[in-house]
């Protein structure tokens, strides 16, 4: 193929990850309520492993289309990263919740840093090892797939969405140890009562709602600024 066609193909390979991310994030809210935080995170590992397999085998099969498909599936998994801070925040003690939410973003940046280091030509970025580099994204998914079943479901999810108070208490004891946790359960019940009077908006309804227009503008501007300010490089 011509140089222009190669540039076009690689541009498509790079950008299709964002399309997968849009698809993944659009369904994240529904899946987290339908299956629970834990099961939704387990399901998110499927496109991650599928994408890693496609990209890792692309050179062996001589197919750049497999890289495109693999990037799409990896993007779908990346779009479902909202599961992780939600689950981590809900299973952490109240006094550590803010710290846990912040540390998730720190590890996300750390993962990008590790990926850039592994992509150096002296490591996995060479002509012979790049398929291994592209397949390496499946390793964290495999670790999570093996380890996550041993963790309990989110206590707020069990109580607020399933109405399982005994399951909630059991999960809390497994996470935080034996002791008096009635105050935390009462807080979850108060939040549940508040949510009954709150309408959950879809993405389209949120965009169309005039009352949230300025908040939406602020979120878009802040998110764009984070991407453009160089913090990822730091």
Q: pLDDT digits over 111-140, tens only?
A: 888 888 988 988 888 888 888 988 888 898
pLDDT of residue 233: 63
Indicate the range of 7-11, 58-62, 192-196 predicted with least confidence. Answer: 192-196
What pTM, to 2 d.p., does this model score?
Answer: 0.75
Position 166 in a domain: no
Three-state secondary-structure class, residue 179: coil
d(CA 17, CA 24): 10
Indicate the range of 143-152, 157-166, 207-216 predicted with least confidence. Answer: 157-166
Position 120 in a domain: yes
pLDDT of residue 232: 61
pLDDT of residue 234: 62
Asked if 151 and 92 count as a contact pair (C-beta separation under 8 A), the reply is no
Position 104 in a domain: yes
Indicate the range of 8-17, 71-80, 89-98 predicted with least confidence. Answer: 89-98
Position 47 in a domain: yes
Asked if 72 and 12 count as a contact pair (C-beta separation under 8 A), the reply is no
pLDDT of residue 53: 92
Indicate the range of 43-47, 108-112, 145-149 predicted with least confidence. Answer: 108-112
Q: Which two tokens stand for residue 21?
A: 């991310």
Residue bearing the bigger pLDDT, 217 or 30:
217
What CATH number does the domain containing 142 carry? 1.20.1250.20
Q: Is the pLDDT of residue 43 over 80?
A: yes
Position 46 in a domain: yes
Which residue segment(s) compose the domain that 93 sits in? 3-151
Q: pLDDT digits over 170-221, tens only?
A: 887 877 777 676 777 777 777 766 666 667 777 788 888 888 889 888 988 8
The number of domains in the chain is 1
Q: List the one residue out of 197, 217, 195, 196 whose CA is nearest residue 206.
A: 217
């Amino acid at each position: 193929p011509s140089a222009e066609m190669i540039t076009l193909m690689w541009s498509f390979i790079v950008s299709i990850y964002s399309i997968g991310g849009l698809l993944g994030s659009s369904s994240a809210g529904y899946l987290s309520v339908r299956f629970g935080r834990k099961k939704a995170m387990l399901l998110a590992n499927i496109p991650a492993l599928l994408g890693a397999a496609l990209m890792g085998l692309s050179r062996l099969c001589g197919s750049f289309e497999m890289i495109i498909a693999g990037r799409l599936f990896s993007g779908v998994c990346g779009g479902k990263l909202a599961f992780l801070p939600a689950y981590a925040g809900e299973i952490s003690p109240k006094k550590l919740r803010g710290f846990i939410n912040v540390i998730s973003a720190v590890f996300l940046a750390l993962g990008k840093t590790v990926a850039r280091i592994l992509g150096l030509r002296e490591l996995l970025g060479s002509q012979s090892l790049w398929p291994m580099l592209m397949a390496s994204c499946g390793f964290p998914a495999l670790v999570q797939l093996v380890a996550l079943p041993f963790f309990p479901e989110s206590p707020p999810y069990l109580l607020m969405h399933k109405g399982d108070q005994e399951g909630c208490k059991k999960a809390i004891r497994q996470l935080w140890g034996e002791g008096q946790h009635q105050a935390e359960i009462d807080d979850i019940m108060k939040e549940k009562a508040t949510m009954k009077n709150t309408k959950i908006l879809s993405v389209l309804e949120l965009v169309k709602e005039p009352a949230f227009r300025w908040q939406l503008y602020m979120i878009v501007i802040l998110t764009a600024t984070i991407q453009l300010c160089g913090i990822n490089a730091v």
